[in-house]
Amino acid sequence: MSRVGRKNVARFRIVVADSRSKRDGKFVEVLGTYNPQANPKQFVVKEDRVAYWLKQGATPSETVHNLLKQDRFAEKYEGLLKGLTGAQMNIERKAERKRKPKAIKAKKAE
């Protein structure tokens, strides 16, 4: 993932990069985008290119792996191999996890 966007407004590009490059350094190809601040969160990916790079031996980062799992990429990929189109598969994205807001600690009164 490569971070883009201004301060406090993070957006990410899903990219193919050499493991030795910096987080926001050189990359080979942009595969998609992720906007965690949108409601609901936006995740767009070129599924055919992701499948190509995974076949070539690329390993996704933990975050990208979790996003692909939530997007049900494995099920879509199997359908594409069988020759089905996206409309025929009718696979929807999994719902987002519900998280509790972080507890704010009260400052001690001196």
Ranges of residues in the chain with a pLDDT under 70 are 23, 84-99, 101-102, 105-110
Q: Is residue 103 part of a domain?
A: no
Q: Is residue 8 part of a domain?
A: yes
Position 76 scores a pLDDT of 74
Q: Is residue 32 part of a domain?
A: yes
Domain extent for 71: 2-89
Position 3 scores a pLDDT of 84
- pTM score over 0.75: no
Query: Model confidence over 50-72: pLDDT tens digits?
Result: 888 888 888 888 988 888 888 88
Q: How many domains does the chain have?
A: 1
Can you give the CATH number for the domain in which 84 is found? 3.30.1320.10
Whether 60 and 53 have beta carbons less than 8 Å apart is answered as no
Q: Is the peptide bond before 40 cis (omega within 30 degrees of 0)?
A: yes
Position 106 scores a pLDDT of 65
Q: Is residue 71 part of a domain?
A: yes
